[in-house]
Structure 1
């Protein structure tokens, strides 16, 4: 049993997959298992509860994909509110103090790095943590104070804001690019938007398995550098 650390994991999976041909990308297979399952397995080791945010029409197929896995589902009550609406619904679903948020399209993110984001949040006076890679501040993964983020999501919905706007309202700490690179192989933070992206991730995973690199299995080694904590 995990210690009661007051942490939730939120997996955003309600998107329409407009750039992903032939089906819902959350259910697309990587190494024989759905991307959604990889994302849930990435976050589960460092939190107490996992909440999957999805649309009503996705829930049955997601329940099948995650059969036997301990998760709850936050179903958007109103269609069309996008990831901000999905995040707000998921945040309202948990009574945990903090949450780490990832997308279902992040199959290789190391659990220990997500734990690192939560540690940074809980060790600061801010209500949010973001990371910077490749010259830009990423909207995901992020760690947030759940109550503050739920309020920020409501404000962002009223203003037509984006997911990035939600976290910006929390006056977040942004982990600099060189600190991120010291903590984790940034190749592990890749997101899958298209079938071509999925093929590249499959190739990366195969290369890691063949070479015996840390994190060769999405649910195996954590892929976090020892000097990054």
Structure 2
């Protein structure tokens, strides 16, 4: 069984708007993200910032994406305001798959084939406990990665106990398959999978690209 986790609890201070609710083709971005992830995994866990926020997202996602709610569950950060480590821990704790793809709610061009390839690279026969894309400049993409669920959850728990907020440091505890994004070019020739929304300029560019691709 494969799981997918969306971290939707961030307050997106730089953008000034909640990323999960940004509109693309008159639908919130989180609904598009949920559709893609449900096509690549067997279940989806949406992580909100608190219980009330989880209820709001559940109404939006279930109504516009999966009315019967099959395969989607909602939870919230284990420590409110702590950042992605708390969100990852909560999402992996709620998930049931041996492997889980973890992502944010601000990547409008997620690619199902890329996600499936990362699952393959982290699968049991490989000996790895994670598949993490690496940019040409050496930057990791920990919020576009597949993890062995129990190992990564335990690493997050230990980080929370230490007060450690940096996801990259957690990767030192795992046997990671580092995946140069060049290897993924045949599946995503424009490399838009990793395009995320941090500023208004990013949003304007994404909406323009979205219109072209649609």
Give TM-score scaled by structure 2 length: 0.88
- Could you tell me how far apart the structure 1 residues matched to 2:59 and 2:202 are? 25
Runs of 4+ in 1 over 4 A off after TM superposition: none
Cα distance, 1:43 vs. partner? 0.9
Distance 1:59 1:161 in 2: 22
Unaligned runs of 5+ in 2: none
1:175 pairs with one of 170, 173, 179? 179
Q: Structure 1 stretches of 5 or more lacking a match?
A: 1-5, 210-229
1:140 paired with 2:138, answer no
Q: CA deviation at 1:180?
A: 2.4
Distance in 1, matches of 2:99 and 2:131, equals 11
Aligned to 1:12: 7
Aligned to 2:212: 207
The RMSD of aligned alpha carbons is 1.6
SS at match of 1:200: helix
Query: Which of residues 124, 144, 166 in structure 1 aligns to 2:170?
Result: 166
Q: Is the 8 A contact 1:42 1:108 kept in 2?
A: no
Shift in Å, 1:154: 1.2
Q: Match for 1:125 among 124, 127, 130?
A: 127
Relative to structure 1, the CA distance from residue 42 to residue 131 in structure 2 (aligned partners, 3 Å threshold; closer, same or farther) is same
Please say if 1:196 is aligned against 2:201.
yes
Structure 2 counterpart of 1:73:
74
Q: 1:53 is matched with which residue?
A: 47
Tell me how far 1:97 sits from its aligned partner: 0.7
Residue 37 (structure 1) shift: 1.1
- Length, aligned pairs only: 203
Closer/same/farther in 2, CA of residues 91 and 17 from structure 1, 3 Å limit: same
Distance 1:32 1:59 in 2: 21
